[in-house]
Amino acid sequence: IERDDIPQDDSTLGLFDMELEVAVEETMNEGEELLDKLMVLSFEHLESCQNAGRLDEVFEILFDLFENLILTTCKPKFPQFLLFYACSLDPEDCGVKFASKLLAIFLSSNKDRVTRTNAVDYLASYLSRGKFLHASFVARILKRLVDECADYCRTYNVGASSGHLVFYSGCQAIMYVLCFRMRSILDVPRFQLLLTPLESVLYHKLNPLKECNPYVVSEFLKQAKAGGLFIVSEAFIFGDLPESETSRAFGGFFSFDPCLFKISNSFISPNFIYWSMVKRTHDEDEAFAEVIVYGDTDNDEDYDDDPVLDNDVKRMSITPKQSYMRDTWRLSKMPSRIRPSTSPSQSL
pLDDT at position 11 over 50 = no
Instruction: Quote the pLDDT of residue 114.
Output: 92
Instruction: Please give the pLDDT value at position 7.
Output: 38
pLDDT above 90 for 135: no
Residue 236 has pLDDT above 90, yes or no: no
Per mean pLDDT, which of 96-110, 246-260, 282-296 is the most reliable?
Answer: 96-110
Q: Which of the two residues, 105 and 160, has the higher pLDDT score?
A: 105
Confidence of residue 140 (pLDDT cuts 50, 70, 90): confident
Instruction: Give the model's pLDDT for residue 280.
Output: 76
The yes-or-no verdict on residue 89 having pLDDT over 90 is yes
User: What pLDDT, on the 0 to 100 scale, is given for residue 147?
Assistant: 96
pLDDT single digits (tens) 167-205:
999 999 999 999 998 887 777 777 777 778 899 999 888
What confidence score (pLDDT) does residue 252 get? 56
pLDDT of 127: 95
CA atoms of 264 and 260, how far apart (whole Å): 9
Q: Is 19:276 a contact under the CB 8 Å cutoff?
A: yes
Residue-averaged pLDDT of the chain: 75
For residues 294-302, give the mean pLDDT: 45
Reported as a single tens digit per residue, the pLDDT across 39-50 is 999 999 999 999
Q: CA 172 to CA 124: how far, in whole Å?
A: 9
The predicted structure's pLDDT at residue 332: 32
pLDDT (0 to 100) of residue 260: 78
pLDDT of residue 299: 42
Residue 118 has pLDDT above 50, yes or no: yes
Does 22 have pLDDT greater than 50?
Answer: no
Give the pLDDT of residue 288: 42
101/83 Cα distance (integer angstroms): 12
Domain boundaries, the chain: 3-314
**Which pLDDT value is given to residue 146?**
95
